[in-house]
Amino acid sequence: MSLSAPHDPQAAPDAGTTRRSFLRTSAVLATGLAAVAASLKPLFEMEDIPSAEQFMQKYYKELTPADMAKVLQRIEREVEKQYGVRPHVRDLKPLDGVEFAYALNLSRCIGCRKCVHACVAENNQSRNPEIQYIRVLKLPHGTFDLEKSDHNYAPDQVPEKGFFTMPVQCQQCHNPPCVKVCPVHATWQETDGITVIDYDWCIGCRYCEAACPYWARRFNFTKPSIPADRLNPEMAYLGNRPRKKGVMEKCHFCIQRTRAGRYPACLEVCPTGSRKFGNVLDPNSEISQILRTKRVFMQLKEDVGTNPRFYYYFDV
């Protein structure tokens, strides 16, 4: 390209640095840097920066038993430091020949919400802000139009005449949309059907929450807080160990109990026996019998194709 080089000194009158321009530039830069430094101050007061050990931790499925032992010890140390309680953290693997399912008897549920609170106590959910895994919907008799449901009901006494109640929690879908959308594989389905979250791998993008049609997932938008004397020290890595700020959590069928042969906390506390849980691969289990013989009328939101492991049934 032809270059029309101007030899006109007027074209660039401020070539070179003068004292004035130097001072002015320095003043602007200094003010700018001071402002940036001031605004970065909160970063240096952060408490929950992960330790190098945690930061370099391998992906759950790649951890050898020895690695896992170290990780569990680290978690125990951290929990003890934060809460003053020495927990017992285990990494429980799915049992062979077991696939869990849950059945809830809508004829019996009275909507007392004891399951909600037992779950919070068992699974070390944050008390402030309040995080709960189970949401109980109150519906008028004669309809399953969920638009008519109310989850903020507060009568003096339950059950209320003319209404029935329907607790909703993680449905542990056969085809979980939340697992598909997690960009980093921080959530997956185990062989016993439980969809778990690795709280050390979750980056907190909340796509799983957007994907879940049941609103089963709960996010720690801020630092969770649990009174030290309310901490449940019997913990599992993929289960109820305390979560950090910025990670997702949800119902995991009380993995720390159910994989050790116990019932979930919500089931144990239920005063009406509405909640049934067990191994569907065992034809003689209670859950298998219920699914075979009772009026299992629905999986919630069947039409979205998630195929839940959580069934609602009637007695009659």
Partner 1 sequence: MAHAQHAAAPAILQEVKPAVVPRAVLVQNNRSFAWITDKICGIIEGKTPTWWWVCFIVACFVASFTVAGITYLVATGVGVWGHRSPVNWGWPIVNFVFWIGIGHAGTLISAILCLLRQKWRTSINRAAEAMTIFAVVCAGIFPVFHVGRVWYAWFLFPLPNSNLIWQNFRSPLEWDVFAVSTYGTVSVLFWYVGLIPDLAVLRDRFYATGNKTRSFLYGLFAMGWRGSNRHWSNYEMAYLILAGIATPLVLSVHTIVSFDFAVSLIPGWHTTIFPPYFVAGAIFSGFGMVLTLMLPLRAIYHLEDLITQYHIDCMCKITLATGTMVGYAYAMEFFIAWYSANPYEGFTFINRAFGPYAWAYWIMITCNVVTPQLFWFKRVRTNTTLVWVLSIFVNVGMWFERFVIICTSLTRDFLPSSWGYFSPTIVDIFTFFGTFGVFSVLFLLFIRFLPIMPMAEIKAVTQQADVHSGSDHH
Identified binder of partner 1 from the candidate list 153, 163, 207, 263, rule CB under 8 A: 207
Looking at beta carbons only, is 159 or 246 nearer to partner 1? 246
Residue 244 touches partner 1, criterion: CB under 8 A: yes
Cα gap 149→164, rounded to integer Å: 10
Identified binder of partner 1 from the candidate list 77, 108, 127, 135, rule CB under 8 A: 135
* Omega of the bond leading into 129 within 30 degrees of 0 (cis): yes
Tokens for 286?
Answer: 């209670």
Identified binder of partner 1 from the candidate list 213, 285, 289, 296, rule CB under 8 A: 213
Identified binder of partner 1 from the candidate list 160, 204, 263, 288, rule CB under 8 A: 204
Instruction: Give the nearest distance from C-beta 21 to partner 1 in angstroms.
Output: 10
Looking at beta carbons only, is 152 or 284 nearer to partner 1? 152
Cβ pair 121, 214 in contact under 8 A: no
Which positions from 293 through 312 interact with partner 1, judged by CB under 8 A?
Answer: 301, 304
Number of residues forming the site for partner 1 (CB under 8 A): 74
Tokens for 129?
Answer: 């802000």
Residue 66 touches partner 1, criterion: CB under 8 A: no
Cα gap 64→69, rounded to integer Å: 9
Residue with tokens 């144990």: 268
Residue 117 touches partner 1, criterion: CB under 8 A: no
Instruction: Give the nearest distance from C-beta 223 to partner 1 in angstroms.
Output: 6
Identified binder of partner 1 from the candidate list 158, 211, 281, 296, rule CB under 8 A: 211
Instruction: Give the nearest distance from C-beta 260 to partner 1 in angstroms.
Output: 28
φ, ψ at 101 (rounded to 5°): -145, 160
Of the candidates 289, 303, 305, 316, the one whose C-alpha atom is nearest the C-alpha of residue 103 is 289
Residue 154 touches partner 1, criterion: CB under 8 A: no
Cβ pair 171, 309 in contact under 8 A: yes
Instruction: Give the nearest distance from C-beta 109 to partner 1 in angstroms.
Output: 15
Looking at beta carbons only, is 50 or 97 nearer to partner 1? 50
DSSP 303: G
Residue 70 touches partner 1, criterion: CB under 8 A: no
Residue with tokens 């969770």: 224
Of the candidates 124, 127, 118, the one whose C-alpha atom is nearest the C-alpha of residue 242 is 124
Residue 64 touches partner 1, criterion: CB under 8 A: no
Residue 146 touches partner 1, criterion: CB under 8 A: yes
DSSP 260: T
Please give the full DSSP string across 98-109, using - where no structure is assigned: --EEEEEETTT-
Of the candidates 258, 219, 218, 256, the one whose C-alpha atom is nearest the C-alpha of residue 240 is 256
Identified binder of partner 1 from the candidate list 101, 106, 196, 247, rule CB under 8 A: 247
Residue 11 touches partner 1, criterion: CB under 8 A: yes
Residue 190 touches partner 1, criterion: CB under 8 A: no
Residue 140 touches partner 1, criterion: CB under 8 A: no
User: How many Cβ atoms are within 10 Å of 268's Cβ, its own excluded?
Assistant: 16
Cα gap 77→53, rounded to integer Å: 12
Longest alpha-carbon distance in the chain: 99
Residue 16 touches partner 1, criterion: CB under 8 A: yes
Identified binder of partner 1 from the candidate list 5, 52, 66, 154, rule CB under 8 A: 5
For 137, the 3-state DSSP assignment is strand
Looking at beta carbons only, is 192 or 200 nearer to partner 1? 200
Q: Which amino acid is at 313?
A: Y
Q: Identify which range of 85-93, 117-125, 226-234, 238-246 contacts partner 1 by CB under 8 A.
A: 238-246
